[in-house]
Amino acid sequence: MLVVMQAGATDEQIAAVVRKVEQLGFRAHVIPGAQRTAIGITGNPGPLDPGLFEGMPGVIEAVPVSKPYKLVSREIKLEKTIVRVGEATIGGDELAIIAGPCAVESYEQTMTVAEWVSRLGVKFFRGGAYKPRTSPYSFQGLGEEGLKILAEVRARFGLKIVTEAIDHESADLVERYADIMQIGARNMQNFSLLRRAGQARIPVLLKRGMSATLEELLLAAEYIMAEGNYNVILCERGVRTFAQHTRNTLDLSIVPAVRRVSHLPIIVDPSHGTGRRDKVIPLARAGVAVGADGLMIEVHPDPDRALSDGPQSLTLPMFRELVEQVREIAALVKRAEQEMAPM
Ligand code: PEP
Ligand code: MN
């Protein structure tokens, strides 16, 4: 159920609706919008009677939400969500680029990439300190040591740090050291971890599971938002198909599909999405052209020696090439969007 408030509704009127929802034993989510505030209700086992809220001062109407997901839906919030980290944004006017190595391997390796990334004017830095690897014998990440290196990247270059949490313990540490908590494809349906991410004070970057449908992705985001964290960024990183020319099949059609039904920003990861270095730049261009809010790109100073995901990591000069190309496309897309009537 969604309680829609009048444009001029007072804080007290909004608070009264929230109190009523809580007295009923449910959770109220106040979602301010450009035109009006809406209050989403979660935790109710079945449909609620609109009469409970209609008639309260400041309420226009109470409407059932028709989708299985509620808080992520455009029904609850028409305008796009802009996730803000300091002065940097994801979902705003500027294309957000998140770049860095797959894994934080050493101080030197990390600083080399960070310096390059920051010189190009890129605002977000990635690097895994906890790596969910297919094999238990593969490099598992430096753990807290890696997070400390990332914190130094932020201090030295002002880059915003995006890094993955793989369980509750690492989530506690990621929340302490990083700016955005990444939930990886393998954990997209780890519901207990999603709830933990929903309690984090920092935004969450949620990667699509390797065989997840659009609805499953949105419901995973709903888990996070239902806990009160509304700063969620979705990420398309490819799905498993029969194709053998790539590691995964990058499903770019999910970008306009998400746009249609959700207000959340969505970025594209052509590194995991293709698994092959030579395909990353073309698919990054395509991701921007299709309207993604940003890109996540793996970059390594010496990809052949990378401890993880070397075959898909760009060299530093290739990354510069990518940034130059996608910025031109982003400017074109922005112009086209401004000329188009709003959806
Ligand atoms: C990563 O970003 O390094 C990663 C492990 O990605 P994914 O969860 O998409 O496989
Ligand atoms: Mn990787």
Q: What is the pLDDT of residue 342?
A: 56
184 lines ligand 1 (CB under 6 A): yes
Q: Whose CA is nearest to atom 4 of ligand 1?
A: 184
Q: Does domain 2-63 have CATH number 3.30.70.1140?
A: yes
CA distance 271 to 278: 10
For residue 182, give the ligand 1 atom closest to its CA. Answer: 2
d(CA 326, CA 99): 13
Q: Is there a contact between 300 and 102 (Cβ–Cβ < 8 Å)? A: yes
Looking at beta carbons, which pairs linking 157-160 to residues 24 or more positions away fall under 8 Å? 157/114, 157/115, 157/117, 157/118, 157/125, 158/118, 159/114, 159/117, 159/118, 159/122, 159/123, 159/124, 159/125, 160/85, 160/86, 160/88, 160/123, 160/124, 160/125
Residue 333's H or E segment, with its range, is: helix 316-339
Confidence (pLDDT) at 156 = 98
Counting ligand 1 atoms within 8 A of each CB, the residue from 138, 164, 250 with the most, and so the one to mutate, is 164
Q: How many whole angstroms separate alpha carbon 338 and alpha carbon 135?
A: 47
Q: Which residue has the tokens 């920051």?
A: 118
pLDDT recorded at residue 68: 87
Residue partners of 208: CB distance under 8 A and separation at least 6: 185, 188, 217, 234, 235, 236, 237, 239, 251, 254
Homologous superfamily of the 83-340 domain (CATH): Aldolase class I (3.20.20.70)
Q: Give the pLDDT confidence score for residue 262 in this predicted structure.
A: 97
- Contact (Cβ atoms closer than 8 angstroms) between residue 314 and residue 322: yes
Please identify every stretch of the chain with a pLDDT value under 50, giving residue numbers as ranges: none
28-45 pLDDT, tens digit each: 999 988 889 999 999 998
Ligand nearest to the CA of 250: 1
Domain residue spans in the chain?
2-63, 83-340
Domains 2-63 and 83-340 share a fold: no
Q: What is the pLDDT of residue 304?
A: 97
Q: Is the CB of 128 under 6 A from ligand 1?
A: yes
Residue of the CA atom closest to atom 9 of ligand 1: 185
Q: Decide: 104 in ligand 1 pocket, CB within 6 A.
A: no
Q: What is the predicted pLDDT for the residue at 341?
A: 60
Q: pTM for the complete prediction? A: 0.95
The residues, any chain, with a CB within 8 Å of residue 135's CB and separated by 6 or more, are: none
| Cα 291 to ligand 1 centre (Å) | 21
CA-closest residue to ligand 1 atom 1 = 102
pLDDT in tens, 194-238: 999 999 999 999 999 999 999 999 999 999 999 999 999 999 999
